[in-house]
Amino acid sequence: MGKRLAFFVFKDLNVKRKGGQEMKALSGKAREVMDLLTKGLHVEGHRVFDNAKGAYMAVHVEKLRLTEQEALYSVAHYFEQNGDLMRDPDMEFMKIGDDYYPVYFRQDGGVALEQEAVVYGPGGKIERYYPKLQADLAAFADRWMRNIKEQQKI
């Protein structure tokens, strides 16, 4: 199981503790995959992993933001539909210390879905947090990182 983010970090990030729920980090193996995907990325930097050459969807990784307290990364698969790039899916991960916390999920296409476990306000401050959704995103991301590792041979 992944580690849980301590409340003191929430306090620093302006998040209220609700019902004692803390954020769930990726498991150790998933964290290792994220480290490989994000290694050396600068803000607004991106890279594409396409080691399967068409057998599987390429993995697109971006570093969206860096503050004193956290970095924010996007990991996504894309497909084209009617000339538009569609996310399949796109997830955002907050990195604090050595741990990654999934905070956003978007799936385009047939039945589109967008979920925000952490809602940012003006200036990048966290305003709301949905612990059950965040834990669900962490469970999905653990499996997805395992698939990415196998499919992209990283």
**pLDDT per position as a tens digit, 9-65:** 444 453 434 445 789 999 999 999 999 999 999 999 999 999 988 899 999 999 999
What is the structure's pLDDT at 20?
54
DSSP percent split of the chain into helix, strand, coil, nearest 5 = 25, 40, 35
Selected residue with higher pLDDT from 129 and 5: 129
What rounded mean pLDDT belongs to the chain? 88
Residue 147 structure tokens: 């698939």
Give the Å distances, CA to CA, from 97 to 52, 68, 83, 94.
31, 11, 39, 10
Look up the pTM and report it. 0.86
Indicate whether 70 pLDDT > 60. Answer: yes
What is the structure's pLDDT at 122?
87
Contacts of 119 (CB under 8 A, 6+ apart): 126, 127, 128, 129
